[in-house]
Amino acid sequence: MAKLIALLNVIAWSGFWAFGYLALSSGSEAGSQTVVAILLAAVGGAAGLWAYFWLIRHSEVTGYAKPRNRAVINEEETA
């Protein structure tokens, strides 16, 4: 499953950069094409971020990467 998510990560970021470039480089006369390129770039960016964060969590859980230092709030500290 992790390899499939990694493949999705690469494809999503590629789509983000490709369609983002198309959206930025399209002229003002290509209105609807620009909107479609912006939407596809946003979907690619969102999928890329989701896959990247999933891979980070997965690598921490499996022990491949060291878990990050996170603050843990105990109940006695909140009182």
Q: Which is higher by pLDDT, 26 or 12? A: 12
CA torsion 39-40-41-47 (nearest 10°) is 110
Q: Provide the pLDDT for residue 62.
A: 85
Question: Is residue 40 classed as helix, strand or coil in its secondary structure?
Answer: helix
Q: Is the pLDDT of residue 44 over 70?
A: yes
Residues 6+ apart with CB under 8 A from 38: 19, 23
Q: Is the pLDDT of residue 79 over 60?
A: no
Q: Token pair of 43, please?
A: 């979907």
Please compute the mean of the pLDDT values over residues 46-63 and round it to a whole number: 92
Q: Provide the pLDDT for residue 46.
A: 98
As a whole number of angstroms, the distance between CA 47 and CA 59 comes to: 18
Q: Is the pLDDT of residue 51 over 90?
A: yes
How many domains does the structure of the chain reveal? Answer: 1
Q: Provide the pLDDT for residue 27.
A: 79
Structural domain range at position 17: 2-78
Per-residue pLDDT band for 78 (boundaries 50, 70, 90) equals low
